[in-house]
Homo-oligomer: A and B are copies of this chain.
């Protein structure tokens, strides 16, 4: 189901291999987000070309449309979307709190109305594991309660206590399904606690006690300042079991990925690179490039001369600016291809730096360059 091996360490940073049912994932690794069963604007062959090893699917979105039963009938999410690599599914919890209407949380689970058609759904820890099994996830996430960014300490305490109880119920359901057709995935626990260090410490112990195959940090990158998030992850990552993969959920910018990897995190996911791509923001080794800027109207250079993606090998900034200005569909694909290539190449280069024992210097230099901004 999962075999995690740390091949190199460099300070707190780790370079590892995570063997999953659909191939090996090199860590630290970034997972593109395929919300509704496609990484927006990209096809599976695009993802293979840019070197993606694992993508994320959103349980909330997929349970509403097309529904887990249909996906299971079509052979699971991999076959449904023709993706040969690995899939991690979230538990649906985060979207229930951020997207759904009229949600009511009880000990049983979360009752909510779909943001699509107002239909009522009940998501419980057991149901979240069942659905992720039907989707055929290689990594499943425990159903958790994520307090809003501005929640007070008491709210955080209640949420993490419930998250621990729910994680126990998730584990029971997951164990009951092992050996069945959709029981091949590995279940990860989620550590909450917001920015309260003692709560993170307490919750890390509670989740570790469940002895699940991997651990995630939830509740980061939910509105706090970047430096605050970095400090939080630097504190919390070492609290998680050292021999198991550590996943920081919903993170982040290129700088976030570097800083959290240096703190000992192994996996990341975020809609940022594809979302900003559709808004015309390109990441380059020289910083952020707003492709709509008039300064690129006649620029014959690729977005990033050091990038080997199809976009950079083929098109000029001038053309990409034109496509974006005209809101041509091709713009969204070419920009997304580039940003995801940038992210995955950054992680690849970071892994090599960890192997050489130079991850700190690599990260410092990369972060410096990102801040400069391109010509």
Contacts and interface: CB of A to CB of B under 8 A. Distances in A.
Interface residues of A, number: 36
Given A36-B328, A37-B323, A329-B333, A74 B43 contact: no
A315 B319 CA distance: 31
Contacts of A334: 43
Question: How many identical subunits does the complex contain?
Answer: 2
B73 A326 contact: no
Contacts of A41: 329-330, 333
Contacts of A70: 297-298, 318
Contact of A326 (B37, B80, B300, B330): B37
A143 interface: no
A66 interface: yes
A298 to B, nearest CB: 6
A325 B38 contact: no
Contacts of A314: 43-45, 82
B297 A66 contact: yes
B298 A37 contact: no
Interface string A47-91: 000000000000000000110001001100000111000000000
Contacts of A310: 43, 45
A230 interface: no
Contacts of A319: 37, 74, 80-82
Contacts of A82: 314-315, 319
A42 interface: yes
Contacts of A73: 298
Contact of A316 (B38, B74, B330, B332): B74
A40 interface: yes
A325 B65 contact: yes
Nearest to A75: B300
Interface in A262-293: none
Contact of A329 (B315, B326, B332): B332
Contacts of A44: 314
A322 interface: yes
Contacts of A326: 36-37, 65
A65 B322 contact: yes
A330 B40 contact: yes
A42, A82, A333: which has the most chain B beta carbons within 10 Å? A333
A96 to B, nearest CB: 19
A332 B264 CA distance: 40
Q: Which of A37, A38, A80, A332 neighbours the largest number of chain B CB atoms within 10 Å of its CB?
A: A38
Nearest to A73: B298
Interface string A88-132: 000000000000000000000000000000000000000000000
Interface of A: 36-38, 40-45, 65-66, 70, 73-74, 80-82, 297-298, 300, 310, 314-316, 318-319, 322-323, 325-326, 328-330, 332-334
13 contacts: A36-B328, A40-B328, A41-B329, A43-B333, A43-B334, A44-B314, A65-B322, A70-B298, A74-B300, A82-B315, A329-B329, A329-B332, A329-B333
